[in-house]
């Protein structure tokens, strides 16, 4: 399928979805949302075992394309609640619910919804020159795309409030130091680092990784005893998987396991 605003391919069990509006810093439009939704619906169906989300050109994503929301003076304002409900909410939930690891490859700016969509991915690898910005305060809005949920949980209330009330840039190095992202690497190493990580995850036991991310994300709202029950149930399920049996055999035979994702 041919897309106008994104690039999408699956090769060697690795899906790559690239936001492709470089002249607009890959900012979201209604069309881009529709194309991203379609591509995400194809990821697992096409046999991918890991997804890489990236941005074309000099930035990851500048958030919402405000030009796509421009209205003439005196016209009816854009219904932002509807936009969030129909576009950003399902996007963030789709990334979190994919039954495989999702890597965000962040270069340049990740601003607004662009930053929070990146943070909705399981692993964020950013170039040293990249930065994360929450500019909603300059528009009289609240952070969306999960920003008010993700930021305080990952970096604490004080830092979350500082970033969102002031709208200052957060460098990739500081984001990594705060635990907001997984790794910050030199710009020249970004693509190679993400490719190696994608290959590693594509060869991993996919079902186990999917249950791991599900347990961690959903565990935020559970008490310890309930979470222990979830861990018990997932172990019981995964203990019958082909990957677990292969992992045990490979350990005993002192060889590299050959996982199939089943």
pLDDT digits (tens, 9 = 90+) for 69-127: 655 566 667 789 999 999 999 999 999 999 999 999 999 999 999 999 999 999 999 99
Q: Quote the pTM value.
A: 0.94
Residues 21 and 38 in one domain: yes
In a domain, 260, yes or no: no
Residues 216 and 198 in one domain: no
Greater confidence, 181 or 66? 181
Residues 163 and 229 in one domain: no
What is the Cα gyration radius of the chain? 19
Residues 197 and 214 in one domain: no
Residues 70 and 175 in one domain: yes
Residues 116 and 38 in one domain: yes
- We report the CATH number of the domain holding residue 214 as 1.10.12
Number of structural domains found in the chain: 2
Total Cβ atoms within 10 A of residue 192: 10
Residues 171 and 239 in one domain: no
Residues 172 and 132 in one domain: yes
In degrees rounded to 5, what are phi and psi of residue 150?
-75, -50
Name all contacts of 168-173 with Cβ < 8 Å and 24+ positions apart: 168/133, 169/131, 169/132, 169/133, 170/131, 170/132, 170/133, 171/130, 171/131, 172/106, 172/126, 172/127, 172/128, 172/129, 172/130, 172/131, 172/132, 173/128
Residues 187 and 213 in one domain: no
Closest CA to 198 of 61, 49, 43: 49
Average pLDDT over residues 152-159: 97
- We report the CATH number of the domain holding residue 70 as 3.90.226.10
What domain range is 212 assigned to? 206-253
In a domain, 261, yes or no: no
Total Cβ atoms within 10 A of residue 241: 19
Residues 149 and 220 in one domain: no
For 183, counting Cβ atoms within 10 Å of its Cβ (0-12 exposed, 13-18 middle, 19+ buried), the class is middle
Asked if pLDDT for residue 145 goes beyond 70, the answer is yes
Residues 109 and 223 in one domain: no
């Amino acid at each position: 399928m041919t897309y106008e605003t994104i690039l999408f391919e699956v090769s060697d069990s690795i899906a790559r979805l690239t936001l492709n509006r470089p002249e607009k810093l890959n900012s979201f439009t209604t069309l881009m949302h529709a194309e991203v939704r379609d591509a995400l619906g194809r990821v697992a169906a096409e046999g991918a075992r890991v997804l890489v989300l990236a941005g074309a050109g000099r930035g990851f994503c500048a958030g919402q394309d405000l030009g796509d929301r421009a209205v003439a003076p005196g016209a009816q304002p854009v219904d932002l609640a509807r936009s969030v409900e129909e576009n950003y909410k399902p996007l963030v939930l789709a990334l979190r619910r994919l039954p495989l690891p999702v890597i965000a490859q962040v270069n340049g700016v990740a601003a607004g919804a662009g930053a929070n969509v990146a943070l909705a991915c399981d692993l964020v690898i950013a170039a040293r020159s990249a930065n994360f910005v929450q500019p909603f305060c300059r528009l009289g809005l609240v952070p969306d795309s999960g920003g008010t949920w993700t930021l305080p949980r990952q970096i604490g209330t004080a830092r979350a409030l500082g970033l969102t009330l002031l709208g200052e840039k957060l460098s990739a190095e500081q984001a990594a130091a705060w635990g907001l992202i997984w790794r910050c690497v030199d710009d020249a190493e970004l693509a190679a680092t993400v490719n190696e990580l994608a290959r590693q995850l594509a060869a991993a036991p996919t079902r186990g990784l999917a249950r791991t991310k599900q347990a961690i994300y959903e565990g935020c709202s559970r008490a310890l005893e309930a979470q222990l029950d979830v861990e018990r149930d997932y172990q019981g399920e995964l203990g019958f998987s082909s990957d677990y049996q292969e992992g045990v055999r490979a350990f005993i035979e002192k060889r590299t396991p050959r996982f199939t994702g089943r």
